Amino acid sequence: MHTSRPVAASDRLKQLPKAEVHLHLEGCFEAAQIADWARLQGVTLPRPQSELFQFSGLADFLDFLDLACGLACTPARLAELSYGVCQRLADNGTGYADVIFNPTHWHAWHGRLEAMLDAMDAGCKEAEQDGLPSIGLCVSLLRTQSADAAAELVDRLCTLRHPRVVALSVDGNEASAGRTGPRFADAFRRAADAGLRRTVHAGESSGPEGVWDALNCLGADRIDHGVRAIEDAALVEVLAQRQIPLGVCPTSNLVLGVYPTIQDHPIEKLRAAGVAVSLNTDDPALLGTSLVGEYALCRRAFGWNDAITAALARTSIASSFANADTKAKLLAALALWQTAG
């Protein structure tokens, strides 16, 4: 007689075909890797390795990115880091990811964007050859940059037309930068004209006004976080009606102090209001997140069943900037996952 053994809940979530759309390369350093590279560079770390990833909030966290990225000063280290992202995706059963990287954090590479993209691309290609998932890069502005710096980055991207780059992004701390949507409007318009997609951090360190600007000034195809849209009913209605996807990162929002507990997190309210939400890790190594963990957390906290879980996975795939072939394959596999449930 054939008896099939029940699949453990975490295995079933690992098997769930899904994409990730909000994940920073800057957030993928392992503590041991930072300690190693710091020793080789003669750099003193601000605290012991065991406490390295203890952050007091978003500002402190962003400062730390400069230190970590400053250590990735050779093509080999950048390729190693990129390969590690692909390995992390495979470990979570993630079929594809849009990966954000922000050139301002990587001091050793300033003025050498092409070399930097090539080093990342080399790590990604090696991963693909080893059968690991593929990624697209979203090159990011920092909220505190000037309009001129934004124009310069878009000029470079338009000249290079690097095949690994899928989007222009903006991240960083809106609380300290203030309102900057209008400042970047021109750069985002030109990026779209050049065939790049647009993704915008908003509604994390800004309130609903940051999300309105992402839509109205920057023409965002997708919003990173966006969760504080919940504070404005008219905005929630627009997001739902236009199906503008939000790349939500629940644990990141808890660790960086946006919400005190998962019960206070608005993802379930946004989902129930018809907003297209996906689950993501933001900065997985630094914040201690995994994609399987995010799905498990929300299923526990909000009682999501397999149909809801699959709907979120479908949003993650559909809202990614993967090519049509990758999307079709993942969506077909997702349909099978549901019938095997």
- Supply the residues annotated as catalytic: 204
- Contacts (CB under 5 A) with Zn ion, residues 260-299: 282
Binding mask 37-76 for ligand ADE (x = CB under 6 A): ---------------------x------------------
Rounded Cα distance between 126 and 211, Å, is 37
Nearest alpha-carbon partner for 213 in 243, 245, 241, 174:
174
User: What token pair was written down for 28?
Assistant: 């993928």
Contact 227, 248 (CB under 8 A): yes
Rounded Cα distance between 64 and 87, Å, is 23
User: What token pair was written down for 106?
Assistant: 């990587």
Name the residue with the smallest CB distance to ligand ADE: 171
Nearest alpha-carbon partner for 208 in 152, 148, 304, 275:
275
User: What token pair was written down for 191?
Assistant: 């990026």
Contact 285, 81 (CB under 8 A): no
Output the CA torsion sign for 188, 220, 101, 128: negative
> What, of ligand ADE, Zn ion, none, does residue 26 touch, CB below 5 to 8 Å by kind?
ligand ADE
Q: What is the DSSP letter of 137?
A: E
Binding mask 112-151 for ligand ADE (x = CB under 6 A): ----------------------------------------
Rounded Cα distance between 38 and 70, Å, is 9
Name the residue with the smallest CB distance to Zn ion: 282
Segment lying near ligand ADE (by CB under 6 A), choices 7-15, 23-31, 145-153, 297-305: 23-31
- Contacts (CB under 6 A) with ligand ADE, residues 234-263: 252
- Please list, in sequence order, all residues whose beta carbon lies within 8 angstroms of the beta carbon of residue 84, skipping any fewer than 6 positions away: 28, 30
Kindly state whether residue 20 participates in binding ligand ADE, applying the rule CB under 6 A: no
- Contacts (CB under 6 A) with ligand ADE, residues 195-214: 201, 204
Name the minimum Å distance from CB 24 to Zn ion. Answer: 6
- Contacts (CB under 6 A) with ligand ADE, residues 155-174: 171-172
Beta strand extents in 3-127 (DSSP E only): 18-24, 94-101
- Nearer CB in complex with ligand ADE: 162/201: 201
Name the minimum Å distance from CB 11 to ligand ADE. Answer: 29
User: What token pair was written down for 338?
Assistant: 């549901």
Name the minimum Å distance from CB 140 to ligand ADE. Answer: 8
Looking at 19-57, list the stretches that DSSP marks H as alpha helix, in order from N- to C-terminal side. 31-41
Name the minimum Å distance from CB 27 to ligand ADE. Answer: 6
Name the minimum Å distance from CB 311 to ligand ADE. Answer: 24
User: What token pair was written down for 137?
Assistant: 């890069």
Kindly state whether residue 26 participates in binding ligand ADE, applying the rule CB under 6 A: yes
> What, of ligand ADE, Zn ion, none, does residue 204 touch, CB below 5 to 8 Å by kind?
ligand ADE
Euclidean distance between the first and the last CA atom of the chain, given in angstroms as a whole number: 21
Among 12, 18, 24, 314, interactor with ligand ADE by CB under 6 A: 24
Kindly state whether residue 283 participates in binding ligand ADE, applying the rule CB under 6 A: yes
Contact 290, 281 (CB under 8 A): yes
Q: Applying CB under 6 A, what is the total number of residues that bind ligand ADE?
A: 11
Name the minimum Å distance from CB 282 to ligand ADE. Answer: 5
Segment lying near ligand ADE (by CB under 6 A), choices 19-27, 47-55, 236-244, 295-303: 19-27
Beta-bridge mates of residue 282 = 23
Output the CA torsion sign for 110, 111, 112, 114: positive
| Site residues (vs ligand ADE, CB under 6 A) | 24, 26-27, 58, 171-172, 201, 204, 252, 282-283
| Site residues (vs Zn ion, CB under 5 A) | 282
